[in-house]
Structures are given as structure tokens and as C-alpha cells.
Amino acid sequence: MAHWLFKTEADAWSWDQQKKKGAAGEEWTGVRNFQARSNMRKMKKGDRGFFYHTGDEKQVVGIVEVIKEAHPESKAPDWECVDLKAVADMPKPVTLAAIKAEPKLKDMVLVKNSRLSVQPVSEAEWAFVCKMGGL
């Protein structure tokens, strides 16, 4: 299983909205960056990801699971998306500041390329951020 990080503005699509979609999940739409799209094309059903609020919050707030692999967006079929469902709240949200302050996470894509909206997370990074968040 691979791990990922999905970034969103809380006022555009929040963790609470994602959770309300339940087991049916929701398309992760609006990705218009080719590198981020390429990352979604690599995803497999069952992969897990961090749900990250950008903007004022800048923190990991939950865990999502890929429930449908890359496919054309419903409203913009020239672009692709994956479908995600909420799996768990992050008991203690993990801020970008805390991630940047941790030497073990210095090579994390979130630290090196914070603008990328869909990014890979290594197994070690995944485990460490989960521990930081109380999982």
C-alpha cells in the first residue's frame, strides 16, 4: 500500500464535508497540476492518504482511503481524479510547523514542495506523522 497527502482549502472542501460523504466517498476533483495528476494515476484502491487543510490551518486533520482509481472527472472529463473516503480523524492535528520542525521529516515533499496538491508520502514519513497525530 502506498501513502499520499491530499491538500485542500477548508472553505472549498473540508474534512467535515469529506466525512459526511461516508463510505460512498467523493471524487477528488480540481487538480490541474500535471505532477499531481500523475501521482493520482499511480494510486491503487486501498492506498491511504493524509487529508491536509491548507490556508490558515496548514495541518493534517484526517486519514482518507482511495476507493476508486484514476478516472475522468464527472464535471471535467478532460481531467482525472480518484475517489476518496474518510477513514479516521487525526486525534491531534499535525501542523506544517511541527512537520518542518522535525528533522526526520526534512525530506518530506510537503516540506520541499509545499505547493504540490497531491503528493507521495514515504512509509517512514507516514508512520512518523501518524505517531505525531496520536495514531
Task: State the total domains in the chain.
Answer: 1
pLDDT of amino acid 125: 98
93-109 mean pLDDT: 97
pLDDT in tens, 58-88: 999 999 999 999 999 999 999 999 999 999 9
**DSSP 8-class letter at 58:** -
- For residue 85, the tally of other CB atoms under 10 A from its CB is 17
C-alpha cell at 90: 487525526
- Closest to 28 measured CA to CA, from 69, 57, 88, 58: 69
pLDDT-wise least confident of 69-73, 113-117, 120-124: 113-117
pLDDT in tens, 3-40: 999 999 999 999 999 999 999 999 999 999 999 999 99
- Residue 66's domain comprises 3-132
Distance between CA atoms of residues 114 and 96, nearest Å: 9
C-alpha cell at 71: 478516472
Distance between CA atoms of residues 57 and 26, nearest Å: 22
Catalogue the E-assigned strands of 3-135.
Answer: 3-8, 26-27, 48-53, 59-72, 80-95, 118-121
Distance between CA atoms of residues 72 and 107, nearest Å: 32
pLDDT of amino acid 113: 87
- Closest to 5 measured CA to CA, from 104, 97, 115, 134: 115
Q: Is the CB of residue 62 less than 8 Å from the CB of residue 52?
A: no
List the CATH number of the domain containing 27. Answer: 3.10.590.10
